Amino acid sequence: MNFSHKSANYLRNLRMLFAISLALLLASSSTFAQKDSDEYLFNDSHFHLTNYIQEGTDIHDFLKIMGNKAGRVALFGIPLQQQWSYRVDENRRPTYYLNSDAPLYYYSFTDAWIATAYKSLSKQDQARFDPMITGFNPTDMYAADHIRRVLKAFPGVFTGIGEFSIHKEFVSAKIAGEVASLQDQALDRLLDFATEVGLVVLIHNDVDVPFAKPGVEPAYAAQMKALFRRHPNTTFIWAHIGVGRIIRPVKDQAAIVEEIINDPKLSNVHFDISWDEVAKYIVATPESTKHGAEMVNRYPNRFLFGTDEVAPADQDKYLKVYNQYEPFWKLLTPEAGEKVRKKNYERIFDEARRKVRSWEAAHVK
């Protein structure tokens, strides 16, 4: 046997060992989900460990905050950094994008920060998290290459991409460089790659523009549906169902959601009901709560609960949105409540874990 043949065998054995290790890791993660799911109130499909200046909660402290309330959490930072411009703010240190007129910019190091925090945990604690890649610019054709590099640098860590934003009230216009668009080939390219790998895609896109005129078709509803149709094999979660801080549910909001749900070509699209700004609309009145619950009871497989909390300091703050939904939870059937709070998360993210670990086994040396 010559040297080149021995080297080929050695590399093949290494790849096989890597694949087995990833399979064992995935199996241990699935065991957690099956064994411990009933002990928790919910799985969290939308959580930011860090804020707009890349500061946040230590992940070990966050585990204590989760306690016996949250089972698993989709974990990510925020892909944007608020610039501190002395010319604009002098010594007044902005900590949020509404605190300053200075721009935002994409902050790619957030992915390494999240991966490092995750890897500092024990294997048992790692099983409670599904880290997500967010530090890419969706207007850049190289965004897909950033995602590939992150996966290769941190194999065994990430499960999806997002939350990332395309059209977001007040945020989109503040980001330095080109404005993101649902019709950008750069977005299509990164979604194609996410589909190839099996990554979950958590996307924020408002259904309409701020202060829209009544009676006018929502600005981004058609574009959003077109994006979903261009990527029928991508697992999408539409964050906040398209609602924002001042983007109220439009008159036809329920019809837009129901049209997507009833389109057999869009069975890959799911909706998260994260954020206190979304919850306030759903539980605003007994009638709104009833309509929201009826929608979820009809289509229990398509909705996920998330907190959208950002670096919470304690458990009370972390559970704020869950508790805010209390009237809503009471109107859900037992099956729908279990799926929205836990089972849909487990189904979607377990499948993504399996696919991503398989891709890594084939592509990461």
Q: Is the pLDDT of residue 198 over 70?
A: yes
- Segment among 2-6, 61-65, 144-148, 318-322 with least mean pLDDT: 2-6
DSSP 105: E
Q: What is the dihedral of CA 190, 254, 70, 310, to 10 degrees?
A: 60
Q: What is the pLDDT of residue 295?
A: 95
Q: Is the pLDDT of residue 26 over 80?
A: no
CA neighbours within 13 Å on the CB side: how many for 305? 30
Dist. CA 10–CA 2, nearest whole Å: 13
Q: Is the pLDDT of residue 5 over 50?
A: yes
- Segment among 25-34, 238-247, 317-326, 335-344 with least mean pLDDT: 25-34
Q: Is the pLDDT of residue 212 over 60?
A: yes
Q: Is the pLDDT of residue 12 over 80?
A: no
Percent of the chain with pLDDT over 70: 88
Please report, for residues 82, 124, 321, the alpha-carbon distance to residue 327 in angstroms, rounded to integers and kept in the order given: 36, 34, 12
φ, ψ of residue 74 to 5 degrees: the values are -75, 115
Residue 164 near residue 201 (C-beta atoms within 8 A): no
Mean pLDDT, residues 173-200 taken together = 97
Question: Whole-prediction pTM value?
Answer: 0.90
The ranges assigned to domains in the chain are: 3-363
- Segment among 188-192, 208-212, 296-300, 330-334 with least mean pLDDT: 208-212
Q: Is the pLDDT of residue 307 over 80?
A: yes
Q: Which CATH superfamily does the domain covering 3-363 fall into? A: Metal-dependent hydrolases (3.20.20.140)
Residue 236 near residue 201 (C-beta atoms within 8 A): yes
Q: What is the pLDDT of residue 217?
A: 85
Instruction: Tell me which residue of 101, 56, 58, 45 sits closest to 78, measured CA to CA.
Output: 56
Q: Is the pLDDT of residue 101 over 70?
A: yes
Q: What is the dihedral of CA 158, 160, 165, 171, to 10 degrees?
A: -30
